[in-house]
Structure 1
Amino acid sequence: MNVALLRIYLNDHLAGSIGGLELARRAKAENADNAVGEFLETFHQELMEDRAILLSVMSALGFKPDMLKQGAAWVAEKLGRLKLNGQLLGYSPLSRVVELEGLCLGTEGRLSMWRTLRRLSRKDERLGRFDFSSLIARAEHQRRTLERLRQQCSDEAFLEPGAGSVLRLTPSPSEREAH
């Protein structure tokens, strides 16, 4: 096993987890009153668990976290907030779409990492105590849910009002009256 490259790879994922956690936390706060925020409440907790597992994997392999990479990832996430979203101040439907796309990308990367580690666990007994198959299944479920929410939010952001979002984030006025 190429330990030097694996150390870099896992430290890159650890740094990415900082950005993912910060993004999920912010998106959760901005969507506290809707289905996106509801999902992100659980998702954020699962991301914290995944980060702890990744740290345990690194410890089992004798790898130390690269604090410089983690600091750079934190700064990069903060700078990533400086984007135009169609509003001078505040949160817009475009913000939600872009954030969900970022979370989709991060989840895809995490899924690939768990798959890589599962394969490596067949060759390195230090990784044998980790249930990578369960982590893979959870990440696949997260990816499907994030994509469904992303499609729903894209419909709401880009379709004309009343055009009939297939996966509506907020109920239409007629649906609100029916309840």
Structure 2
Amino acid sequence: MGARTNRSGTDLLGIYLNDHLAGATLGVRRARSLVEADSERAPALADEVRPVADEISEDRAALLDIMRRLDVPVRRYKVAAGALAETVGRLKPNGRLVRRSPLTSLVELELLRLGVEGKAALWRSLRQVADGDRRLDGAQLDDLLERAERQLDTLEQLRLRQAAETFERGDVRLPG
């Protein structure tokens, strides 16, 4: 039997949307960081990620707009936690001490893809309840979901290409 909660559906929606806002904050920062870091080392990759990064930023703005329409207050501590998590995430070892590893771009593309998967789940969840809540625009949510699916396709193509380039360079040796 599931645990009971004293929270209303509205409270739970606020928590859910603020959690996604924290993730969106992390995603915007990670996407911009990837574009900036690869601008010199891998300008073609940066050029291909830049439009996705711009859309991720626009999607975060759309989420903030939806939260305003639903009268869900922004929990600044969650936004700050998302920004902090992104900053700390950049400190992870990447096989190189001083300079950026080709593996870093691959891992960052994977992280972006996971974030977009979460965002698509958000849009699907909101779309599920949009017909019963006039404050939610079903057409907007359909558009946001379609854009997230395009972003997923783009990021997956870039991820696969980056994996091939990284592992074929000899920077990483595969067993076998």
TM-score (norm 2): 0.86
- In 2: Cα distance, 1:158 partner to 1:119 partner: 41
Which structure 2 segments of 5+ residues have no match?
1-7, 171-176
Q: Secondary structure at the match of 1:90?
A: coil
Are 2:52 and 1:8 aligned? no
1:160-175 equivalences under 5 Å are: 160=169
- The Cα of 1:69 is off from its aligned counterpart by 0.7
1:45-64 equivalences under 5 Å are: 45-64=54-73
Which structure 1 segments of 5+ residues have no match?
162-179
1:1-179 equivalences under 5 Å are: 2-32=9-39, 33-128=42-137, 131-160=140-169
Q: Secondary structure at the match of 1:27?
A: helix
Q: Secondary structure at the match of 1:131?
A: helix
- The Cα of 1:159 is off from its aligned counterpart by 2.7
Q: Secondary structure at the match of 2:72?
A: coil
Q: Secondary structure at the match of 1:125?
A: coil
- The Cα of 1:160 is off from its aligned counterpart by 5.0
TM-score (norm 1): 0.85
Structure 1 residue runs of 4 or more that deviate by more than 3 Å after TM superposition: none
Give, as a single letter, the amino acid of the residue that structure 2 aligns with 1:44.
A
For each residue in 1:21-63, what CA deviation from the matched residue of structure 2 results, as whole angstroms up to 9, or x when unmatched?
A: 1110110012224332112211121111111110111011111
Superposed CA RMSD in Å reads 1.5
